[in-house]
Amino acid sequence: MDILTTVVYIILFIIIMIFVFSIGMLKPFMRKKETALVLVSAFIIGCLGGAFFLSPIYDDVPEVMSTVQKVIPNNDNETMYLDVSSSVDLDALKNNLTHIDGVHSFEVTGITFYMWQFTDKEMTYMNAVLENIDANYKNFTVNESGKIDIDLVPGYEVNSALKSFSDWYKNVYAGTISYAQVHIKVVLAPSAIDQSREYLLEEGIVPTKMEGPVQDSINKTNSTMLNNGEFVLISGGIGVIVALLGIYVDKVVVVFRKFKKSKKSGRRRR
């Protein structure tokens, strides 16, 4: 949310609070039952004001905190994890990302294949044969669902890794692998996050996970924030407090004047 919209929403909430305060000031002309109705109305108006005007601002608090982290000099780097289709032009993706100022490295860490539901015999076979398909398969995990996760030796060409598995599959099952998922790790400065995300969004890619000081600040802020329902109820409570101030404004003014007068009297005695 931009600053102008934020200011407008805050002003609108203040306006409805002034309205609530004004209603409370009509207390001398009300019966006791009507006073209770004013408080109920103030709660409802406060809830509505919080839901429509303050909640959108409150929801942006984590983003504001992350923006602060992005501009802090000498902050630690962020790590962005991507899961993309093997059909994506990885060379172009790497070239475009690493040309963004602040992107330090682009590394393919692994690949994932989605097969069919494995039987126990097929699971045993896959676990036995995978270590012999390619020496650059560092680690692998075979799941009963048919998902095979393979970690690659750092620096190994991903196209070679995909070709090794595809050739083996073709020789054994006389078929072709139509889809694989490629896992990528991008290390970048906090200042490069927004531009990198904009580029990835243009390519239809959404980061799977982020790690680093910026993401930590977002997670920490989210963990301490109230949910929307609680925040709206607190806004309703603010409405009630404002209404009470309006109801008892005369007494508050009298107390304030007495305090001010006694303070002046004390100064004169000195």
Q: Which residues in the chain come in under a pLDDT of 70? A: 1, 32, 69-75, 252-270
**Boundary residue ending a domain (172, 188, 211):** 211
Q: What is the tens place of the pLDDT at every residue in 187-205?
A: 998 888 888 999 999 889 9
- % the chain with pLDDT above 90: 30
Contact predicate 191/74, CB 8 Å? no
Same-domain pairing of 192 and 254: no
Same-domain pairing of 93 and 173: yes
Same-domain pairing of 106 and 200: yes
Contact predicate 56/1, CB 8 Å? yes
Same-domain pairing of 171 and 202: yes
Q: What is the reported pLDDT for 254?
A: 64
71 domain-assigned: no
Q: Count Cβ atoms below 10 Å from residue 258 Cβ, excluding itself.
A: 10
Q: What is the reported pLDDT for 249?
A: 77
**Boundary residue ending a domain (182, 211, 240):** 211
Distance CA 2, CA 57 (A): 10
217 domain-assigned: no
Query: Looking at residue 28, what DSSP letter applies?
Result: G
Same-domain pairing of 100 and 195: yes
Q: What is the reported pLDDT for 247?
A: 83
Q: Count Cβ atoms below 10 Å from residue 265 Cβ, excluding itself.
A: 9
108 domain-assigned: yes
Half-sphere exposure of 49 (CA within 13 A, CB side): 26
CA angle 228/229/230 to nearest 5° reads 95
Same-domain pairing of 59 and 82: no
Distance CA 190, CA 100 (A): 12
**What range does the domain containing 197 cover?**
77-211
Same-domain pairing of 132 and 234: no
Same-domain pairing of 149 and 197: yes
Phi, psi of 267 (to 5 degrees): -70, -40
Contact predicate 103/97, CB 8 Å? yes
Q: What is the reported pLDDT for 261?
A: 63
Q: What is the tens place of the pLDDT at every residue in 61-120?
A: 877 777 776 666 666 788 999 999 888 889 999 999 999 998 999 999 999 999 888 888
> For residue 222, which amino acid is it?
N
137 domain-assigned: yes
Same-domain pairing of 14 and 100: no
Q: What is the reported pLDDT for 222?
A: 82
Work out the burial of residue 46: count CB atoms within 10 Å of its CB; fewer than 13 is exposed, 13-18 middle, 19 or more buried: buried
72 domain-assigned: no
54 domain-assigned: yes
Q: For the chain, how many structural domains are there in total?
A: 2
140 domain-assigned: yes
Same-domain pairing of 109 and 45: no
Same-domain pairing of 206 and 227: no
Same-domain pairing of 252 and 184: no
Task: Sort strands 78-85 and 180-188 into parallel, antiparallel or unpaired.
Answer: antiparallel
253 domain-assigned: yes
